[in-house]
């Protein structure tokens, strides 16, 4: 895979059924277990019915990589995904603060950060979402003109947006604030 055919995981939050089969697929692949908290994609549901599959937005300027004081994070040239060197990571959390979407999180039992690695270009979450015909997560070519950085948002911000969209403004305010 050359830099020209890099992929990006597109999200359509309204399509998310909340089945969390992405969490199952991701954790089975990366951890060998069903482990929702260790999954690199986590479905947030602050409001029932407003499900937000949250995973690395693959910013073009990689603020997380920049912020890492111990060079535990790097960019995989093949996929453009962020690579975590768990032997270097000291779980300081600076990458979380640097991320405009607060995406990275600590491994629930290990002392290191976990970030989506795109499963080396064939993300399991996308595969399972496609099989279920939900297409909340789809794989698209990464485009040079798009600012992925600007798409990166926190689960709270996304919940607010999506809640407004599907529940209406007033109701969204009432159930989420």
Partner 1 sequence: MRGYVGKFLEIDLSNGNIKEKKFPDKVLRDYIGGRGLATKILWDRLGRKWETVDPLGPENILLVLTGPMTGYFPGTKVCVSGKSPQSNGVIGSTVAGEFGVDLKCAGYDGLIIVGKAEKPCYIFICDSQVEIKDASPIWGKKARITIRFLVKKSIEEIKDVRQNYGEVKEPSILYIGPAGENKTRVAAVVAKYAHGAGYGGYGGVMGAKNLKAIVAKGFGPLPDVYDKEKMVNLAQEFCARAFEMERFRRWGTGGGGYYFGAETSSEPIRNWQKEWHDKESYKGEEFDKHWVKKYWGDFGCPTTCLKLAVLKTGRYKGAICDNPDYELEAYLGTNLGIFTPEENINLSYVSNELGLCGIQGGAALGFAAELYERGILTKEDLDGIELEWGNAEAFTALAEKIAFRHGIGDILAEGVYRAALKLGEMKGVDLLKYAVHEKGVAIGAHGVRSGKDFIAENIAYACSVQGGDHTSSASLPLDQGGELSSILADSAIYCVFAAFGLEDMEISNFYKAVTGWKLTEKEWYKEKALRILHLQRAMLLLGGPDVKWKPKLDDDNPPRFWEPLPSGPYKGKTLDRKMFEASRLEYFNAAGWNESGVPKPETLRRLGLGDVEAKLREVGLIR
Shorter beta-carbon distance to partner 1: residue 7 or 134: 134
**Residue of 53, 80, 123, 155 interacting with partner 1 (CB under 8 A):** 155
CA distance 128 to 20: 10
**Residue of 3, 77, 110, 132 interacting with partner 1 (CB under 8 A):** 132
**Residue of 71, 108, 120, 141 interacting with partner 1 (CB under 8 A):** 108
168 by Cβ neighbours in 10 Å (0-12 / 13-18 / 19+) ranks as: exposed
CA distance 5 to 24: 27
Q: Using CA of residue 117, residue 98, residue 39, residue 111, what is the dihedral sign?
A: positive
Rg of the chain, C-alpha, whole Å:
16
Q: How far is the CB of 35 from partner 1 (least distance, A)?
A: 4
Q: Does 44 bind partner 1 (CB under 8 A)?
A: yes
Measured in whole angstroms, how far is the alpha carbon of residue 24 from the centre of its chain? 14
**Residue of 46, 67, 74, 112 interacting with partner 1 (CB under 8 A):** 46
Angle at 9 (CA atoms; ends 99, 115), nearest 5 degrees: 40
**Residue of 11, 30, 40, 54 interacting with partner 1 (CB under 8 A):** 54
Residues at the site binding partner 1, with contacts judged by CB under 8 A:
14-15, 17-21, 24, 27-28, 31-38, 42-49, 54, 91-93, 96, 102-106, 108-109, 113, 131-134, 154-155, 166-168, 170-171, 174-177
């Amino acid at each position: 895979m050359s830099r020209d055919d890099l992929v990006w995981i597109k999200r359509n939050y309204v399509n998310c059924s909340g089945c969390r089969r992405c969490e199952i697929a991701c954790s089975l692949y990366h951890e060998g277990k069903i482990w929702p908290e260790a999954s690199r994609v986590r479905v947030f549901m602050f409001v029932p019915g407003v499900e937000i599959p949250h995973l690395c937005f693959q910013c073009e300027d990689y603020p997380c990589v920049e912020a890492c004081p111990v060079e535990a994070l790097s960019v995989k040239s093949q996929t453009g995904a962020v690579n975590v060197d768990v032997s270097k990571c000291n779980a300081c959390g600076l990458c979380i603060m640097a991320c405009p979407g607060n995406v990275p999180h600590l491994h629930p039992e290990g002392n290191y950060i976990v970030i989506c690695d795109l499963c080396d270009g064939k993300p399991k979450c996308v595969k399972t979402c496609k099989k279920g015909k939900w297409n909340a997560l789809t794989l698209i070519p990464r485009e040079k003109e798009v600012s992925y950085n600007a798409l990166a948002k926190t689960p709270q911000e996304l919940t607010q947006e999506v809640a407004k969209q599907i529940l209406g403004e007033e109701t969204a305010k009432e159930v989420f604030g």
